[in-house]
A and B are shown apart, each in its own frame.
Chain A
Amino acid sequence: MANDPIRAEIEQEVAANPILIYGKGTKEMPRCGFTLETIEFFNRFGYPFEVVDVLENMEKREALAEMTQWPTLPKVFIGGTFYGDTDILGPMDEKGELGAILEAACGPRASRSVFLR
């Protein structure tokens, strides 16, 4: 298939980065409000994450949309699993589900915040 090398590249990136965001623009210069929002979302957790800019790579965007069955950017992968965007991750975080997923993917952080309820 013509897009096999692209899929292989995506699979490699997903495997190499515990937290990976496909978005529009870079971490330093996001070029879309939702990509910026996603970067700010992950900044709060203190785990390292990677942003791959696919704004102008239509072939890769199409391959990603097919692989995830998800039409929009940004797209977030954690520990090799697709989690959608902050519309999904926000509610997961509110329910207290995200911390364990991030820790499983990235390992424990040096300093952890403790939330009391």
Chain B
Amino acid sequence: MPDAEVRVTDLTGTMDHYDVRVRSQAFDGKTLLDQHRMVYSALEAARQDGRIHALQLTTEVPHG
């Protein structure tokens, strides 16, 4: 997702619970479920090895 604008907030100060906001044209025409699936698969390695324990996710398509 090369055009993605990503904003990440560390929710707990422990560097493993994050609020993540992703804005990308790649989400256009996709359901919210599929948009989130795209982000989760991009982050799979970091979830598997424990760098990310919990994630609160917001996705959006940029407007105009």
Contact A69 B37 (CB under 8 A): yes
Contact B32 A72 (CB under 8 A): no
Task: Give which listed residue, B32, B44, B54, B55, contacts A88 with CB less than 8 A.
Answer: B32
Interface size grouping (class) on chain B? 10 to 19
A34 cross-chain contacts in B, Cβ below 8 A: 54, 56
- If the complex has contacts A91-B32, A92-B32, are A71 and B47 also in contact, measured as CB distance less than 8 A? yes
A75 to chain B, nearest CB (A): 11
Compute how far the CA of A82 lies from the CA of B57 in the bound complex, rounded to whole angstroms. 17
Contact B54 A33 (CB under 8 A): yes
Interface size grouping (class) on chain A? 10 to 19
B36-58, CB under 8 A of A: which get 1 and which 0? 11001000100100000011111
B27 to chain A, nearest CB (A): 13
B3 to chain A, nearest CB (A): 21
Whether, in the assembled complex, A49 has its beta carbon less than 8 Å from a beta carbon of chain B, the answer is no
A91 cross-chain contacts in B, Cβ below 8 A: 32, 58
Compute how far the CA of A34 lies from the CA of B36 in the bound complex, rounded to whole angstroms. 16
